């Protein structure tokens, strides 16, 4: 962990759900340790991985100051929602940040987001942009000017405005990830927060990276058809809870159909690209 004696520690617990992530988790935690403003706590939640992931997590925790990285072992596999909820329950700080075990943050992320939260304590959730980038490529500089925009009710009808690894939220919010959902569970939570009237905002900077395509790749998000089914289930759940009107539900469904057509086109175009032969 980088020493930052001149900077206050951010009152943040970082929660990372871990499942068969032994090859990537070290880079994710290193990106937390490299923050220009350090966080108070890192929670690695092993979701009953069938390999040596739990041993890797314990060994990784030993590489950092005692107590900074804590390892939680789930007794059974419950998916990312349950893993994140377990970390949420163990968090000691007033704010919680989320990171996935194959994603990374840029060094200025926490500094920029905490500046917004400290300037506007009534905010319940702050996020930012993300992009896909190869691990071996250098991180580009921030693009000025840095701006923060409010995310209102209508924006949630279009699509998910908040990538999971971009989100910092208040620990005391009366919501949790729905453990019945293994896909699009993040959007359901963000939408519950936003549609319930809690204020949300987003910084116009790429402050974290995915290191694989966000759809059409391996993992749960790679099953595109299942992702769209889960999206429909989320829209029905929001309607059932009375958080959206029926007209809003149908508007969101229309946007969902358009997104599905666009993603199918992008996947078809990707499949036609020539592949390198070694």
Strand 69-73 vs strand 200-210: parallel, antiparallel, or unpaired? unpaired
pTM of the full predicted structure?
A: 0.86
- From first to last of its 278 residues, the chain has per-residue pLDDT tens of 544 444 799 999 999 999 999 999 999 999 999 999 999 999 999 999 999 999 999 999 999 999 999 999 999 999 999 999 999 999 999 999 999 999 999 999 999 999 999 999 999 999 999 999 999 898 899 999 999 999 998 888 888 899 999 999 999 999 999 998 877 899 999 999 999 999 999 999 999 999 976 554 444 445 667 766 777 788 888 888 888 788 777 777 776 666 666 666 666 666 665 544 33
> Please, what is the angle between helix 25-33 and helix 53-61, to 10°?
20
Domains in the chain: ranges and CATH: 10-213 (3.90.550.10)
Query: E-assigned strands of 6-118?
Result: 10-18, 39-46, 69-73, 95-98, 103-105
Distance, in Å, from the CA atom of 110 to the CA atom of 39, rounded to the nearest integer, reads 8
User: Which residue(s) pair with 187 in the sheet?
Assistant: none
Which H helix or E strand runs over 29?
helix 25-33
User: Which residue(s) pair with 45 in the sheet?
Assistant: 17, 72
């Amino acid at each position: 962990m980088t020493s930052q004696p001149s900077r206050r520690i951010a009152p943040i617990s970082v929660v990372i759900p871990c499942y068969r992530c032994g090859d990537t988790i070290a880079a994710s935690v290193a990106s937390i340790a490299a923050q220009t403003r350090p966080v108070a706590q890192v929670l690695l939640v092993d979701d009953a991985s069938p390999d040596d992931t739990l041993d890797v997590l314990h060994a990784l925790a030993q590489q950092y100051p005692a107590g900074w990285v804590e390892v939680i072992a789930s007794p059974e596999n419950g998916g990312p929602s349950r893993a994140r909820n377990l970390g949420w329950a163990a968090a000691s700080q007033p704010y919680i940040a989320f990171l996935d075990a194959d994603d990374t943050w840029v060094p200025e992320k926490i500094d920029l987001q905490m500046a917004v939260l400290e300037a506007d304590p009534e905010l319940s959730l702050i996020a930012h942009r993300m992009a896909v980038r190869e691990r071996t490529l250098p991180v580009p500089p921030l693009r000025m000017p840095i701006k923060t925009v409010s995310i209102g009710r209508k924006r949630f009808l279009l699509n998910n405005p908040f990538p999971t690894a971009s989100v910092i939220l208040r620990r005391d919010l009366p919501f949790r990830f729905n453990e019945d959902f293994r896909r699009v569970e993040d959007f359901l939570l963000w939408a519950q927060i936003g549609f319930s009237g809690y204020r949300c905002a987003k910084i116009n900077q790429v402050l974290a990276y995915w290191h694989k395509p966000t759809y059409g790749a391996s993992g749960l998000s790679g099953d595109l058809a299942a992702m769209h089914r889960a999206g429909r289930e989320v829209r029905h759940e929001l309607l059932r809870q009375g958080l959206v009107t029926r007209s809003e539900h149908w508007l969101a469904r229309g946007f969902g159909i358009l997104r599905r057509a666009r993603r199918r086109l992008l996947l078809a175009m990707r499949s036609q690209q020539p592949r390198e032969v070694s």
